[in-house]
Structure formats: structure tokens, C-alpha cells
Amino acid sequence: MTNARILLVDDQEMMREALAQHLASQSGFEVVASVSNHELAIEAARESRPDIALLDIEVPGLDCFVAAREIEKQSPNTRIVFLSAFCRDHYIEQALEVNAAGYIVKGEEPGVLHRAIETVGAGGTYFSEEVENRLVLGDDGLKVAAPGSTRASSLTQREREILRYIAVGMSKKEVASLVDLSVRTIDAHVRNIMAKLDLHDRVELARFAIREGMAPR
């Protein structure tokens, strides 16, 4: 690919603008959209049809993995690369579940992201070495090697998503509106999450989510 068209998502304006300027200065890279959240990313993907979407995992609001599925619907040829400050198994597992083409740990030298964009743009996949070391190739494709048997691993993808929203202070009504479910259904999910994790109120849920890296501090 001679010109990779890139959608960039990061909630920190200074970081986002700096990265957008840096990428735009590189030969063969074109930043077609730079937005602050995943809701806007879905709109931008529909409008600009980028080759690659760089999604920051820790952006508040709509879950990045839910957004990745929606971007795939809106722009099927867009390939997803996740960016995160952390190399956590549950992040990697969810990235693989949505067929991510890459996962880059923040703090790598700039050449890593450049190579990732070039590789993904050419149809390949690219993972930071730290992430790659956690992966094995099984009969059903890439998966995390010997994932830890933690309480968090007992949650479904929908339950992890709802836990993240609850942990950052959203009301059940707000979560219901965001994920297009009824408040009663959200309440049932929260009860299931509490039962699985053996937790008893929202404060304990928030502390658990932060400790497990499932919500920002």
C-alpha cells in the first residue's frame, strides 16, 4: 500500500494531535480523521472509510471492542489496530475476538507503530513484542497462552463491557441507553456480574475493575 489512510482515536487532545501530526509527516501515511472517542470513531469510519483505525483501548465512553465491531460493519475494509498503555491478557483476548490486525503497547519507539501501520496496510498483522510473547497459534487461530484463571475470566464480553461502564460511574439508565438494552436487562447483567465476582455493591465493582485494569483510575 502506497498511502495508508488512518483514523486515530485518543481522548487526550495533546497526545492525539501530536500523534496525528507525526503520522501525517511520514511518507505514505494520511490521517483522514482524528477524534476523541469511539462514538465519533464510528461516524468517522462511515464517512472516511479509512484503511486503518488506531483505537486507544482506555478511552472513556463506548467500549473500544464494541466500537471495533461497529466500525467493521460501517467500513468492512478498515483494519483495526489497538493502542494501550498496558499488555493485559483480557485486553488481548478481546482484541483477538474482534479480529484485530494489531495491538501496540504505548511507549514503544516510533518505528514500531510505523512498521505496524505498513504491515497491517499490506494485509498482515502486527503485535508489540510484549503482546506477541503472550500469543500462541492454536487450531482455531491466535489465542493468549495459558490465560490466567481469574474471576474476571468468568465474565462474558457483554458483562465486561457493562462492568467497565458501571465502574466509571455511569448509571444503569445511562448504560442501557449506550448499549441499546433495557434498564431491567442491565440490572440483570449487574446481578450476574456481582454473583460471579462475589461482590456486593458498585464501590466493590469499581475497585475490582480498576484493580484488574478494566477501568481507568
CATH 1.10.10.10 domain position(s) in the chain: 151-211
The widest CA-to-CA distance across the chain, in whole angstroms, is 54
> Quick one: angle between helices 64-74 and 89-97, nearest 10?
20
CATH 3.40.50.2300 domain position(s) in the chain: 4-144
**Closest to 93 (Cα-Cα) out of 65, 70, 121, 68:** 65
Model confidence pLDDT, tens digit, residues 47-81: 999 999 999 999 999 999 999 999 999 999 999 99
| Fold held by 4-144 | Rossmann fold (3.40.50)
CATH annotation of 151-211: 1.10.10.10
pLDDT score for 136: 79
Distance, C-alpha 22 to centroid of its chain: 22
For the whole model, what pTM was predicted?
0.75
Model confidence pLDDT, tens digit, residues 96-105: 999 999 999 9
